[in-house]
Structure 1
């Protein structure tokens, strides 16, 4: 699948938005990707998961983990196609945790799956939880990388299906705020 096909999925789903958005990282942007709208189509989810799986060594993975909530659908589909157990981390009182009775066997090798990455903060928090539980994150994959220039974001190999260099701004230096354009927060959690 090529970049044009993947972007068309987002456009056809009404998931490539233009405006003034507050991202979950707290940064501002004129473009927003609502992956949930793309992934609600099971054919899209299956195709995007297959694209990500093509970038990993399935034999080197014991489990798949995603940070909630954005990574849940694509992570579950990647795990299903790989035939591996799936679990997720989630925030409770602002702290990323492993809950719901999930456990990670000591030394288990985990693939971390996310839908959209900008700063990578949720993924790093998820990886920290995996390590605290005795697991070993071995790779990160994401459907979309919004900030491809952010090298060294993770201490494990990283791959993405789609790269979009979308400019983001600190809230205090956002040109959209300076213009008086109202900002909206369409994501899954409050801004950082």
Structure 2
């Protein structure tokens, strides 16, 4: 799947939004990728996951025991990656603010894990998910996301693969351009900010 084909999947599902958005990272942007919309169609979600699975380094792909994704945003793409790879798909969630495995999920000690996200901006959620996976006894051997919007700056200490990179600029709260600041910010993400 080419970058243009992936972008068309986002556009045709109205998942590429323009306006003024407050991202879960605390940064501001004129663009927002609503992955829940692009993944709401099961056939589209399967196509995107299969394309992402095909981009994984061969050594990582061959070694995966289980897929783990952070809730909420990573659940659907994590499940579809599990399907594409023929592996179980678990998720971590934050009932008290810190990611943990719940709902009877457990990792075998030393299980080789692929951590799957929907969108990476700063990589904070991914790093928090990796820490939770490691605390639960898993060994993260790779990380992946549908979209890397970190401008290549997100690192995880393991190979990172993204289906596509969108380099929409993001801004710290004190760096928001006047034209963007003139519009009220909308917080479309799933993580509440205090």
TM-score by length of 1: 0.95
- Tell me the CA shift for residue 174 of structure 1: 1.4
Correspondence for 1:52: 52
Correspondence for 1:171: 173
Correspondence for 2:184: 182
Do the aligned residues in 2 keep the contact of 1:22 with 1:191 (CA within 8 Å)? no
For structure 1, the residue ranges without an aligned partner over 5 or more in a row are none
1:87 paired residue among 86, 90, 95? 90
- Tell me the CA shift for residue 101 of structure 1: 1.4
Correspondence for 1:32: 32
CA-based RMSD: 1.5
Partner deviation per Cα, 1:9-44 (whole Å, 9 max, x = no partner): 111111111100000111110100001101111121
Q: What stretches of structure 1 move > 4 A for 4+ residues in a row?
A: none
2:66 paired residue among 41, 63, 66? 63
Matches within 5 A, 1:64-143: 64-143=67-146
CA distance 1:179–1:185, change in 2 (3 Å): closer
For structure 2, the residue ranges without an aligned partner over 5 or more in a row are none
Correspondence for 2:41: 41
Q: SS state of the match for residue 55, structure 2?
A: coil
TM-score by length of 2: 0.94
Give me the whole-angstrom Cα distance separating, in 2, the residues matched to 1:113 and 1:178: 31
CA distance 1:5–1:89, change in 2 (3 Å): same
Q: SS state of the match for residue 73, structure 2?
A: coil
Partner deviation per Cα, 1:106-126 (whole Å, 9 max, x = no partner): 110000111111001111011
CA distance 1:176–1:100, change in 2 (3 Å): farther
Q: SS state of the match for residue 54, structure 1?
A: helix
